[in-house]
Each structure stands twice: as structure tokens, then as C-alpha cells.
């Protein structure tokens, strides 16, 4: 892929805070026009990475090229072309939605009219409402609206739906999908695998400051080679031999997490009876058995042995 089509290029990025290594040799290639997701658990280094890309933190080492430019050259010109949404910004509560967006719009030389931005994020009815009266989802859409004030070529969204209720989350997804369809490049971080699956053309799975897998969501899931995932929950406290399902028919890979076995299987109709036989032979009883089609969560479990949302 020629470098010209890259909106963002990150090479061997490293950042430490005291003795804690937040980012540990991370590489990213974000192509123009795609929605790229950094997926990983809390503390994986996603926010540090995105803030270095936004020029808000400095890396210890490594190289970041944003829209063909490094942060040490004309910073303001680059900022004209970027939209940034931070994880924890609280806008002034006494100021209205329209006043807030007008302020951000005034920082950029070019960009859409304030009323157009308000319409896009569907805050028309809240135009004259003070920020303090908005719901969580409305505040988050205001935050995205401020990021859109300069009609950005590259949009950074850091955990845009964290803490939102399911309906607000779907409204925000809808907004991101419309932005993606308009040809903007988007880099977003999330620890929700369904968010990454739905929104992203490309996903980098991040764990402990490194990218441990990077591809389209479909390709990542296909790489498991499994058609189904079977989860078996055993009676708590049972002594479980390691490699219990290693030789079970149809089981491609198996992981244990607490009392739950997660089994990747090729054909569920053959694997499930075999799993039951294995349990019976080992004298173990289970409390629940579930199957689902594989998700990015399973990819993460397969790569790290841990779940995304565990602490």
C-alpha cells in the first residue's frame, strides 16, 4: 500500500509513566477513508496511543505521521484538519449547546455552519439548552459535534460510547456510520467488541501496549477457524484437569476462565455430544451450556486467555 493513502502511520511507539509501560512498541496503519478501531481492555494503552496521535502527549520514542505530517512541524495547520473527541471533557454547564459549538467553530478557519453541525448530531431540540441539562448521550453527541467543527479529514473518538445506555449507544453508532459514509477517516478506541464489529473496517486488538492482532473484524474472526463457540460452565470449585478437552472430537481450541470453559468448535452438532461425553468420563457436572457464533471477544480470549471487560 503506498504511503500516500495512509491517514495515520504509527511506528514502534513507546511511552512509559514511571515504571509503567503504557505503550510498548506499537504499530498502526490507518488508511484514508476507513474507520479504524483500537480494541482492547481498560489499561491496554489505547488512550495514551490516541492522545499521542492527537499531539496531546509526547512519545518516549517511535514515529507518528498524521495526514503526512509530524507533530514537530506546523502544529496549527495540522489541527485545522483534525477532529478530536476526548474521553472525559466536561463542557461548561452554564453555556448552551449552540454557544458551545459556535465557540469551537470559531477556532477553525473552515467548516460547516453551526446549525448544520447541530442537525447532524440531532441536537436541534436542545439547541438553546444549557449543557448542564443534557443527558449522557446528548453530551457525548455534543462532544462529537465539537470535534466536527472544522470539517476534519481525520476524526479521533476516544471511547465514544463508554457509560452510555444501549439506546444512546445506538444513536452514536448511527452518527459514526454516517460520518464514515461521508468518507472521513475515523480512529476510535473501544472496549466493546460489538461496537468494533459494527463500526470498524479495520480493527487492531491492543493488549499491554502492543497490537496483538490487526485485520478486518471478519478476517480476525475467521482466523479462529471455528464455526461456533461452546461455553460450558462447571460446578464451582470442581478440580478440573488441564487439557480436559484437548482430545475431544471437533474441539479446535479450549480455554478456561474461572468455572467457564470456552471451546472453539468446527461443527457444533458433532462437538457438543463429544463434550458431554468428555465431561461424563471425567466425572464433572456442569450448570450451563451455551453456544454462539464467534465474535471479536472470542478472538481476544483466544489470543490472551482473558476476557475484554475483566479488570
Residue 6 makes CB contacts below 8 A (sequence gap 6+) with 29, 30, 31, 32, 65
**Which residue from 40, 41, 111, 209 is in contact with other proteins, where contact means CB under 8 A?**
111
248 in Cβ contact with 222 (< 8 Å): no
In terms of Cα–Cα distance, which of 86, 172, 95, 83 is closest to 132? 95
Q: Per-residue string for binding with other proteins, 120-159, x by CB under 8 A?
A: x---------x---------------x--xxx--------
DSSP class per residue in 82-99: EEEE-SS----TTSBHHH
Dihedral angle sign, alpha carbons of residues 53, 55, 57, 58: positive
Q: Which is nearer to other proteins, 115 or 287 (CB)?
A: 115
Q: Per-residue string for binding with other proteins, 20-59, x by CB under 8 A?
A: ----------------------------------xxxx--
Where are the alpha helices (H) located in the chain, listed in sequence order?
46-53, 75-79, 97-107, 114-120, 136-147, 166-181, 193-199, 217-222, 268-282, 296-304
Q: Which is nearer to other proteins, 38 or 226 (CB)?
A: 38
Beta carbons within 10 angstroms of residue 63's beta carbon: 12
- Angstrom distances, CA of residue 194 to CA of 37, 88, 168: 11, 22, 15
CB of 123 to other proteins, least distance (A): 15
- 210-215, strands of its sheet edge to edge: 82-85, 154-158, 185-190, 35-39, 202-207, 210-215
Q: Per-residue string for binding with other proteins, 77-96, x by CB under 8 A?
A: x-xx-x-x-x-xxxxx-xx-
- Angstrom distances, CA of residue 278 to CA of 273, 284, 285, 310: 9, 9, 11, 29
CB of 177 to other proteins, least distance (A): 4
Verify binding: residue 266, other proteins, rule CB under 8 A: no
Q: Which is nearer to other proteins, 66 or 224 (CB)?
A: 66
**Which residue from 60, 177, 194, 257 is in contact with other proteins, where contact means CB under 8 A?**
177
Q: Which is nearer to other proteins, 25 or 108 (CB)?
A: 108
Verify binding: residue 180, other proteins, rule CB under 8 A: yes
Sole window of 19-27, 112-120, 200-208, 295-303 interacting with other proteins (rule: CB under 8 A): 112-120
Verify binding: residue 182, other proteins, rule CB under 8 A: yes
Residues in the chain, total: 311
Q: Residue 292: exposed, middle, or buried by beta-carbon count in 10 A (0-12, 13-18, 19+)?
A: exposed
**Which residue from 110, 241, 242, 269 is in contact with other proteins, where contact means CB under 8 A?**
110
**Which residue from 97, 144, 179, 205 is in contact with other proteins, where contact means CB under 8 A?**
179
Give the total of residues touching other proteins (CB under 8 A). Answer: 48
* Residues that bind other proteins in the complex, under the rule CB under 8 A: 54-57, 76-77, 79-80, 82, 84, 86, 88-92, 94-95, 99, 102-114, 116, 120, 130, 146, 149-151, 170-171, 174, 177-182
Amino acid at each position: 500500500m503506498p504511503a500516500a493513502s495512509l491517514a495515520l502511520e504509527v511506528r514502534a511507539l513507546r511511552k512509559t509513566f514511571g515504571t509503567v509501560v503504557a505503550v510498548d512498541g506499537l504499530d498502526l496503519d490507518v488508511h484514508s477513508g476507513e474507520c479504524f478501531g483500537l480494541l482492547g481492555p481498560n489499561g491496554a494503552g489505547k488512550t495514551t496511543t490516541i492522545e499521542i496521535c492527537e499531539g496531546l502527549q509526547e512519545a518516549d520514542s517511535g514515529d507518528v505521521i498524521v495526514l503526512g505530517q509530524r507533530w514537530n512541524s506546523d502544529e496549527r495547520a495540522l489541527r485545522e484538519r483534525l477532529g478530536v473527541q476526548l474521553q472525559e471533557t466536561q463542557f461548561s454547564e452554564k453555556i448552551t449547546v449552540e454557544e458551545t459549538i459556535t465557540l469551537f467553530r470559531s477556532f477553525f478557519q473552515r467548516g460547516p455552519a453551526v446549525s448544520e453541525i447541530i442537525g447532524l448530531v440531532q441536537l436541534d431540540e436542545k439547541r438553546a439548552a444549557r449543557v448542564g441539562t443534557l443527558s449522557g448521550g446528548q453530551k457525548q453527541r455534543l462532544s462529537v459535534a465539537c470535534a466536527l467543527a472544522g470539517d476534519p479529514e481525520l476524526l479521533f473518538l476516544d471511547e465514544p460510547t463508554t457509560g452510555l445506555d444501549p439506546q444512546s449507544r445506538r444513536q452514536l453508532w448511527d452518527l459514526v456510520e454516517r460520518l464514515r459514509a461521508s468518507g472521513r477517516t475515523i480512529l476510535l478506541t473501544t472496549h466493546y467488541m460489538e461496537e468494533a464489529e459494527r463500526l470498524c473496517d479495520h480493527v487492531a486488538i491492543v493488549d499491554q501496549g502492543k497490537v496483538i492482532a490487526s485485520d478486518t473484524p471478519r478476517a480476525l474472526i475467521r482466523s479462529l477457524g471455528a464455526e461456533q463457540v461452546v461455553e460450558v460452565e462447571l460446578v464451582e470449585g470442581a478440580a478440573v484437569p488441564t487439557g480436559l478437552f484437548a482430545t475431544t472430537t471437533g474441539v479446535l481450541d479450549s480455554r478456561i476462565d474461572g468455572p467457564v470453559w470456552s471451546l472453539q468448535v468446527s461443527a457444533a452438532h458433532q462437538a457438543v455430544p463429544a463434550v458431554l461425553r468428555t465431561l461424563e468420563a471425567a466425572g464433572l457436572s456442569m450448570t450451563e451450556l451455551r453456544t454462539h457464533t464467534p465474535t471479536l471477544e472470542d478472538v481476544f480470549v483466544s489470543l490472551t486467555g482473558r476476557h475484554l471487560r475483566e479488570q
